[in-house]
Amino acid sequence: MSVDVTTTVDVNRPRDQVAAYVIDPANATRWYKNITSVDYAASEPLRVGSKVAFQARFLGRSLAYTYEISELVPGHRLVMRTADGPFPMETTYRFDDATGSATKVTLRNRGEPVGFSRFLTPLMAPAMRRANRQDLKRLKSVIESAAES
């Protein structure tokens, strides 16, 4: 059984600004509630093949996983796949122009749980959807309030 969750939010800032903030690994802990740390050499530009290590908590468990960037179109799209972690996962961010100068952010997580994680699959999709909604709401707040400062 696979997991495939898509969530969206409109952020009242220009697409290039929103996309730049979202794809910067240094910002992940500011808007992702469950991500506790990120390990990425910030001196290196993010590019296809870059690897980013995350520590997180999900469904009461500590997780460590590494994503590899598989597609990067600045201002438009980022796709990353687990290179190491509890189960194979692909995360996609899409950035589209919305009404006015707003940006529609689409976050999609899909994967195929294996091993022990396979037994949690029925709980994962609703939990991921709930967490993604909260995280995108936080992202919207962080970016829009920073613009007002």
Tell me what pLDDT residue 120 has. 59
Domain chopping of the chain, boundaries: 3-148
Cα torsion at 92, 48, 102, 8 (round to 10°)? 10
Handedness of CA 17, 20, 21, 23 (dihedral sign): positive
pLDDT of residue 106: 98
Contact call for residues 31 and 139 (beta carbons, < 8 A): yes
pLDDT at 75: 96
CATH code, residues 3-148:
3.30.530.20
Please state the pTM of the whole predicted model.
Answer: 0.88
User: What stretches in the chain show pLDDT beneath 50?
Assistant: 116
